[in-house]
Amino acid sequence: MRKMEQLFIGGKWVKPSSGDVIEVIDAGDESLLGTVPVAKKAEVDKAVRAARQALGKWADTPVAVRAELLEKAANNLKARGSEIAEVISREVGMPLKMSQRIQAALPVIVMDSCAKVLREFPFEVQIANSRVFRVPKGVVVAITPWNYPLHQLVGKVAPALAAGCTVVAKPASEAPLSAFMLAEALEAAWFPPGVFNLLSGNGPETANLLVQHDDVDMISFTGSTSTGTKIAATAAATAKRVTLELGGKSPSLVLDDADFPKALRTTVNNCFLNSGQTCNALTRLLVPRNRLTEVEELVLPLVAGMTLGDPGDPNTKLGPLVSARQRDRVRQYIKEAIQAGTRLLIGGDAPPEGLSRGFYVRPTVFTDVDPGAVIAQEEVFGPVLCIIGYRDLEEAVAIANGTPYGLAAAVWSADTDRALQVARRIRAGQIDINGAPFNALAPFGGFKHSGYGRELGVFGLEEFLEPLSIQLSA
């Protein structure tokens, strides 16, 4: 069991004023995986003060030095990759083999790419008689979710530090352990004291104290739309800068000339990645109505072959959800959809056989779903796919755009130019064509209720910078 007893504040590991702790539960067997302390107002004030005191000197640190420190921290994370993967697999439920490739490896890629972007970024430009500087926004609070705990944290911390900001990080209470490993990696890379601070705690308490703090300049939040909008409203009272990466209900639009087996296989794998606990998961499969039966026949064996079980078992393809609360929430969505008459192709809300402990949900597919149904409109955040038929391209695009969200999408066609034309009509922040791979340098973020602001690459770095314009006389 991992028992974290201290918080990282001002370059030191500090014992909190309260003895309150948060229990971290193993998603696979419900055992106690570890504990972390709860930061109270005293620790929040101390961490923000440390970040404020470190800001000036860190902002003046040469770009090459900041980039070198990020690269050292990335190497430190890489050296602990196996340990990170195992911890996150047990916290979140992602199968270990997949956790090694995603939960542990992706943060290293992102941090390294951030260092590369930093070295090449133009912090100063001349526009006529004006010299425009890009300066750090200041003290940043990073509040992150539990589904990709280290990746989401690094996606905020790395560009913020690269920009010259200082950071107070608050990880999700369900999966906080890898955040302590990040703090250790940054400490071992010799980042100056106060540049990065880590506070674990409860969202309603610790996070609210940070969002309301007068000496915080910016909030970067990833999580649910409901929580994100509340944070934005609270931050507005003190004119804080805010970026939000929120929910999604992403469509995978398969056009009539697409490679159906490839499109369906990729969509299913994407939808059920991390047991559906992915904000940009392709949870709506849009197909020509006259091929609905063919699609069902192709999807059914793909989902039936997803072995549900212990994340540590190499044969497991689908692990548990993160918590009992999340499991019950997802099962309720499934139950209500069945009660509403939505046709169930496979799965359901019944507990899976042979898995009496752990937060498991059967991989579930609904078919011939009404685009306006609750199950097709709201973010379930579990292993649930909706197959939706469309009559023509205009209806398909309307369905793709017909939810409050706009985080991601996919388009499939034998004609790349046609797919590109369709993709540009979809209101989503990141769209894949024919299964294109993830790009750690491309901007990631959403339209509509999926939030605002972007992460990753140059766009992610710019979120933490303000333009400062100085006019020069002739």
Catalytically active residues are 245, 279
Query: And the tokens for 153?
Result: 């944290």
Other C-beta atoms lying within 10 Å of the C-beta of residue 84 = 26
CA dist list (Å): 261 to 274, 294, 397: 22, 10, 21
Q: Are 464 and 165 in contact (CB under 8 A)?
A: yes
User: What type of residue is 10?
Assistant: G
User: What type of residue is 433?
Assistant: I
d(CA 71, CA 111): 7
DSSP code, position 110:
H
CA dist list (Å): 302 to 97, 208, 295, 297, 400: 19, 43, 11, 9, 23
SS3 content of the chain, % helix, strand, coil (to 5): 40, 20, 35
Q: Which residues, 6+ apart, have CB-to-CB distance to 408 below 8 Å?
A: 248, 250, 280, 282, 428, 429, 430, 431, 432, 446
Q: Where are the alpha helices (DSSP H) in 416-474?
A: 416-423, 457-462
CA dist list (Å): 450 to 110, 218, 241, 454: 22, 19, 17, 11
User: What type of residue is 461?
Assistant: L
What torsion, rounded to 10 degrees, do the Cα atoms 346, 349, 355, 357 define?
Answer: 160
d(CA 174, CA 87): 12
Q: Are 19 and 31 in contact (CB under 8 A)?
A: no
For residue 167, the cross-strand partners are: 140, 196
**What angle, rounded to 10 degrees, do the helices at 63-79 and 177-188 form?**
130
d(CA 378, CA 374): 6
d(CA 60, CA 205): 33
d(CA 38, CA 22): 7
Q: Are 442 and 455 in contact (CB under 8 A)?
A: no
Nearest to 76 by CA among 196, 184, 2: 184
User: What type of residue is 362?
Assistant: R
